[in-house]
């Protein structure tokens, strides 16, 4: 039986790395509790460093992150939206895609 998979969409602008990690850990725990396997959409390896992307000719770095996130969304049955998602451009786009493509949409309490 295939495990259901979910991604996390969270606002990051203006947040510290610690705040991002805390929110993500909380969301990840909630998804595990609900029986979902976690699909990572936080790209922190060297390939996605600003310098590496600039070297590859990426002009719109935030758009590159969003594109990779949407690619990983294709692996998911659900998307979990953290508080404040409606105020973050990338989260709103991810939300629109999740709704349009029939993913189960979950929200942080």
pLDDT of residue 99: 98
Angle at alpha carbon of residue 81, lines to 88 and 69, rounded to 5°: 70
pLDDT of residue 104: 97
pLDDT of residue 2: 62
pLDDT of residue 1: 47
- Dihedral sign for Cα 52, 56, 59, 60, please: negative
CB atoms within 10 A of CB 90: 19
How do the pLDDT tens digits run along the chain, 109 residues long? 468 999 999 999 899 989 999 999 999 999 999 999 999 877 677 877 878 888 999 999 889 889 999 999 999 999 999 999 999 999 999 999 999 999 999 999 8
């Amino acid at each position: 039986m295939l495990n259901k998979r979910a991604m996390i969409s969270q606002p990051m602008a203006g947040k510290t790395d610690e705040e991002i990690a805390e929110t993500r850990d909380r969301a990840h725990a909630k998804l595990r509790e609900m029986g979902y396997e976690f699909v990572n959409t936080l790209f922190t390896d060297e390939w996605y460093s600003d310098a590496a992307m600039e070297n590859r000719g990426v002009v719109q770095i935030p758009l590159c992150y969003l594109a990779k996130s949407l690619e990983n969304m294709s692996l998911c049955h659900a998307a979990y939206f953290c508080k404040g998602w409606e105020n973050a451009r990338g989260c709103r786009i991810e939300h629109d895609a999740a709704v349009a493509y029939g993913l189960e949409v979950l929200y942080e309490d």
